[in-house]
Structure 1
Amino acid sequence: MIAASIIVPSYNRPEQLRGCLEALVGQIGPAYEIIVVDDGSAQPLAPVCDLFGEKLRCIRQENAGPAAARNTGAAAARGRFLAFTDDDCRPRPDWLQKLHHAHGGDASCLVGGRVENGLPGDIYASVSQELCDYLYEYFGAAEGSMPFFTSNNLGCDKAEFERLGGFDQTFPLAAGEDRDFGMRWGDTTGALKYAPDAVIDHYHSMNFGKFWRQHSNYGAGAQHLHKLLDRRGILRPKREPLSFYLGLVLWPLRQHGLKGLAYSVLMGLTQVAMINGYYRSSRQGTHPV
């Protein structure tokens, strides 16, 4: 009997997907299946998936973005427990076991694991992960007050996922839907629980252009989220206090001393990129649908 379904959205990244699946087929823990959702890749991903046996299913859809792909995978899942990761991630062998154990069969619990940067020599990938690490500490993930978890290391009950409506597919540029999902879960369903021993390694290579676009996209996602919250009548601060931004820039120095100075500069630049994406999206008149 299948207890858990691992869902992996993928688009035009066959080599990254192969590395992810190599890590997933060796998972220990509950009986599980793997569902890859090919989000309309130019070259179908089924040949890659076929290398990994009957435990894996590949579903192909027209390109609609990762939120839609995750929802497609969840709808097809046979396990009660849904575990989400991405094709550029390599979960450690006990990842599913730890995530499932932390969930504990509590349907009201949304559980998120720890993400480690798999490319320590890539400064842009490193800074992006440093930013996530800072957010997890600032919002108190370990104390149970985190308002969201990143969608590359996430687990929940299938029935509750469906009751909540899954990921909102209206978010532009694949940015922000995980924040929205976590906030909706916390507001209507139950607790968000951090499982730091459920670890994935993230292999997301970047250059400066990709780094800027990623964080600009996060800004566009934040603008869309704020519009959604306004429409729902949910009053939340749209900006963090100044201490948040000061702490963000100083975070690499706290972690690495003076060796973190370049990281601090890039951490500040992430916020410039986000502001750019936020106001560019606002000027373009992006509206929720």
Structure 2
Amino acid sequence: MRRVSVVIPTYNRAALLAATLQAVLAQSNPAAEVIVVDDGGSDETPEVVARHAPRVFYHRIANGGDLAARNAGLALARGELVAFCDSDDLWQPEMLATMQALWRAEPGLRAAFANFRILREGQLQPGDKFADAPPGWWDGLRALDAELAVFDAPIVARLVHFQPCFPSALVAEAGFLRGIGGWDESVGRPVSGDLATILRIGEHAPIGVARRPLVAIRKHGANFSGDVQKMNLGDAQVLEHVLAQRPSLAPLRAEITASIAARRAAALDTAFARQDFASVRAIYALLPPARRGGLRRVKHGVAALPQPLGRLAGAALLRLGSLRAR
């Protein structure tokens, strides 16, 4: 059985970290090591980790963001496989056992990812991430059994449109991940910065899939992944960056460009609904002409009105849209 190192990046989340550690340490197939990388925080994270010593190793770095923290953990990892879990997420007890079963069935896997559900205010939300995939996204997936499957070809083109592979549900062959450069820190520190690395992993098959939700992604006031507007803008920024930096993505230029525009258009609609008119104006300037017509042109016009007239007009437009949707 391949040894698994678990890397947990964290920044000032001591109050959430304890539950994450308990879930990682309660795995039916225990990890060979658990590494908490403190990204320059100032809270009680060292004390939380110390309560779990010697089963958990603490490593501190200067603040550099979650990508840098994951890379620091990857550099320290001694297992053949490395799993990542953000310090506010929770694994099911079978997470690592399921991933190890995937590698036993398919020893040549480069990476694998599991399904997940959203946990909000202590309650698991209905549905799961995989169920949100657009039609055809799972085409070509080769089943190993009722729960495990493999993509035998790269999936990067699919990931441009829908991204079901979150860091807390990802396991990779450690040597492979180091060989492709680890987590891509060149994107800077936008929301959704991990998308750049997921796209790179997606270029390398075979990739395993665990269909059953094995992770709970916690949504709370301290994480940005609950903000749809910021997520869409972050995704667009990352896609723009990787398209400019990676020649391997050139054949997907049209699809990536369309995805960038769609995400920014969605962010504009969210900003308008919030009456965040400064963001509406800024996002509108980034949209291609094809995305500026119709209702979005009206929204931009409303956002340019002097206040409080703009807010009154915006509220009226939103009410009209709500009535039409009934």
Q: What TM-score do you get using the length of structure 2 for normalisation?
A: 0.65
SS of aligned partner of 1:57: strand
Q: What's 1:169 paired with? A: 185
The offset of 1:41, in angstroms, is 0.6
Q: Which amino acid aligns with 1:171?
A: V
The offset of 1:176, in angstroms, is 3.3
Q: What's 2:297 paired with? A: none
The answer on whether the counterparts of 1:90 and 1:201 sit within 8 Å (CA) in structure 2 is yes
Q: Which amino acid aligns with 2:138?
A: G
Unpaired runs of 5+ in structure 1?
250-265, 284-289
Unpaired runs of 5+ in structure 2?
142-150, 287-326
The offset of 1:22, in angstroms, is 1.0
SS of aligned partner of 1:102: helix
Q: What is the aligned residue count?
A: 254
Q: What's 2:218 paired with? A: 203
The answer on whether the counterparts of 1:94 and 1:198 sit within 8 Å (CA) in structure 2 is no
Q: What's 1:183 paired with? A: 199
The answer on whether the counterparts of 1:35 and 1:73 sit within 8 Å (CA) in structure 2 is yes
The offset of 1:155, in angstroms, is 0.3
Instruction: Give me the whole-angstrom Cα distance separating, in 2, the residues matched to 1:282 and 1:172.
Output: 22
The offset of 1:5, in angstroms, is 0.4
Instruction: Give me the whole-angstrom Cα distance separating, in 1, the residues matched to 2:50 and 2:189.
Output: 29
SS of aligned partner of 1:12: coil
Q: What's 2:240 paired with? A: 226
SS of aligned partner of 1:118: strand
Q: What's 1:139 paired with? A: 137
Identity of aligned residues (%): 20
Q: What's 1:154 paired with? A: 170
TM-aligned CA distance change 1:43 to 1:214, over 3 Å: farther
Instruction: Give me the whole-angstrom Cα distance separating, in 1, the residues matched to 2:240 and 2:233.
Output: 11
User: For 1:191-235, what per-residue CA distance to the aligned partner results, in whole angstroms no more than 9, with x for missing partners?
Assistant: 22221236011222249x967745324413422332322232322
Q: What's 2:298 paired with? A: none
Q: Which amino acid aligns with 2:37?
A: V
TM-aligned CA distance change 1:80 to 1:211, over 3 Å: closer
The offset of 1:24, in angstroms, is 1.1
TM-aligned CA distance change 1:199 to 1:71, over 3 Å: same
Q: Which amino acid aligns with 1:220?
A: G
Q: What's 2:54 paired with? A: 54
TM-aligned CA distance change 1:203 to 1:138, over 3 Å: farther
Which one has a bigger Cα radius of gyration?
2
Q: What's 1:24 paired with? A: 24
Q: What's 2:111 paired with? A: 110
1:97 aligns with 2:112: no
Q: What's 1:239 paired with? A: 258
Which of 2-11 and 167-176 deviates more?
Answer: 167-176
User: For 1:8-52, what per-residue CA distance to the aligned partner results, in whole angstroms no more than 9, with x for missing partners?
Assistant: 110011011011001111112255211110011122511100111
Instruction: Give me the whole-angstrom Cα distance separating, in 1, the residues matched to 2:202 and 2:36.
Output: 27
Instruction: Give me the whole-angstrom Cα distance separating, in 1, the residues matched to 2:139 and 2:215.
Output: 17
Q: What's 1:259 paired with? A: none
Matches within 5 A, 1:66-77: 66-77=66-77
SS of aligned partner of 1:15: helix
Instruction: Give me the whole-angstrom Cα distance separating, in 1, the residues matched to 2:171 and 2:189.
Output: 23
Instruction: Give me the whole-angstrom Cα distance separating, in 2, the residues matched to 1:184 and 1:190.
Output: 11
The answer on whether the counterparts of 1:81 and 1:157 sit within 8 Å (CA) in structure 2 is yes
TM-aligned CA distance change 1:184 to 1:141, over 3 Å: farther
User: For 1:227-265, what per-residue CA distance to the aligned partner results, in whole angstroms no more than 9, with x for missing partners?
Assistant: 3222323222122599x99xxx9xxxxxxxxxxxxxxxx
Q: Which amino acid aligns with 2:117?
A: E
The answer on whether the counterparts of 2:24 and 2:91 sit within 8 Å (CA) in structure 1 is yes
SS of aligned partner of 1:181: helix
The answer on whether the counterparts of 2:183 and 2:194 sit within 8 Å (CA) in structure 1 is yes
The answer on whether the counterparts of 1:27 and 1:95 sit within 8 Å (CA) in structure 2 is yes
The offset of 1:142, in angstroms, is 8.5
TM-aligned CA distance change 1:102 to 1:215, over 3 Å: farther
